[in-house]
Amino acid sequence: MLSFFTYGRSYDPSESIVYSQPTFQNFLLLQNLGEAGGSKDSWLGEGFSHLPRPYNSFLKEALMRILITGSSGQIGTNLGLHLQSHGHYVFGIDKRPNSWTTEIETLLQDLSTPQRSFNKGIGHVEYPPDLDAVVHFAAHAKVHELVEQPDRALENITMTFNVLEFCRQNNLPLIFSSSREVYG
Question: Where exactly are the structural domains of the chain?
Answer: 22-61, 65-183
Per-residue pLDDT of the chain (184 residues; tens, 9 = 90+): 333 333 333 433 333 333 333 444 444 544 444 444 433 333 333 433 333 444 444 445 668 999 999 999 999 999 999 999 999 999 999 999 999 999 999 999 999 999 999 989 999 899 999 999 999 999 988 888 888 999 998 999 999 999 999 999 999 999 998 766 555 5
The pLDDT of residue 18 is 33
For the 65-183 domain, the top CATH level (class) is alpha beta
| Residues 155-164: contacts with CB under 8 Å, at least 24 apart | 155/112, 156/112, 158/111, 158/112, 158/113, 158/114, 159/69, 159/111, 159/112, 160/136, 162/111, 162/114, 162/115, 162/118, 162/122, 163/69, 163/111, 163/122, 163/134, 163/136, 163/138
| pTM reported for the whole predicted model | 0.67
